[in-house]
Amino acid sequence: MSRMEDPEAMDLLETLVCIPSPSGAEREAAVFLTGWMAARGFEAYMDETGNAVGWIGEGPRTFLLLGHLDTVPGEIPVRVENGRLYGRGAVDAKGPLAMAVVAAARVGARPGWRWVVVGAVEEESATSRGAYHLVHTWPRPDMVLILEPSGADAIALGYKGRLLLHVRLEAPGRHTAVPEPNPAERLVELWIALRERARSASEGSRLFEQVTPSLRRLAADGDGLREWAEMTVGFRLPEAWPPERWREAIRPILETMGAAWRTEGEEPAWHAPADTPLVRALLAGIRGEGLRPRFLLKSGTSDMNVVGPAWHCPIAAYGPGDSRLDHTPEEHIDLAEYQTGIRVLARALEEIAEIRVRQEPAF
């Protein structure tokens, strides 16, 4: 795709990716995005928590398109090469967010509907602060689309849950010739025990139904009088293991070790139904581009885990990009796919605009 085929959509995406916005430092990107929306007919502002919010149209029904402005750390030089835009956030998730803003601007106001686009803050951190602010301050929307990479031909209906575990062990300092394990060695034993507990909870299950642990951090130090070691473990949790249940399942292991521990970032898995007006509209949009639709269940988490359980409305995730590139040094988005995603979503918005009678979600 050449830049001249759709310079406005291309410039939005490239500029947004060029603005660094790691979690907690999204303001410059939010200012740019609200300005872009305001210049194209949106009512746009930054809310109290720093989310970029814009809407078009007035009416009793709200379709919320929820993306995120923040990225993980790591600078990737922004460049266009072989029809791809490289840069941190190109896939996760400024590409899907730019897609939504462009599609909503093109479809414009429709009777009875309000298209609301939000670029949330701190989705990549354990806080999900932007999404929680919406849950606490907004009434329930009629539909929510999470703007995450699924591929232009795919709709994601579910995400696994999450729990982060922080552990610390301390002991009096001693000579390394003493045979008893030191705090670092004991934390390695604890990691192995936790990994085995996850394996036993998941035996025979497909990936979306497994508890999947990951060792995020392991550090050890001392001051000559005491030794200590710290570890952070992340757990991706299926529906059968909500955070509170998994916390109790691992408590005996932690208490046997005598560790000081705490958890954070606890979010349950969420699996949305496929038979909703939102999904049907997305299917129509994908088929309208000559593509064969697919459904996905994702092994990561997203803001769907925050707003899904709170709002219980039709919800799905959609966006251009290959999620296997998330957080990697080679993060990039195919620009032709980005354009396809814009057309798919615009078609879906046209379908949704034709819904006249309120349809309650099948939950």
Angle, vertex CA 268, rays to CA 275 and CA 93, nearest 5: 75
Which H or E run includes 330? none
- Give the CB-side neighbour count of residue 357, counting CA atoms within 13 A: 0
**H helices present in 117-182, as ranges:** 129-137
Catalytic residue among 14, 26, 70, 122: 70
Catalytic residue among 122, 123, 124, 153: 123
Closest by alpha carbon to 302, among 191, 157, 168?
A: 157
CB 33 within 8 A of CB 16: yes
Could you confirm whether 142 is annotated as catalytic?
no
DSSP one-letter string for 5-70: GSHHHHHHHHHHHHS--BTT--HHHHHHHHHHHHTTT-EEEE-TTS-EEEEE--SSEEEEEEEE--
The CA radius of gyration of the chain, in Å to the nearest whole number, is 22
Could you confirm whether 70 is annotated as catalytic?
yes
> Active-site residues: which are they?
70, 123
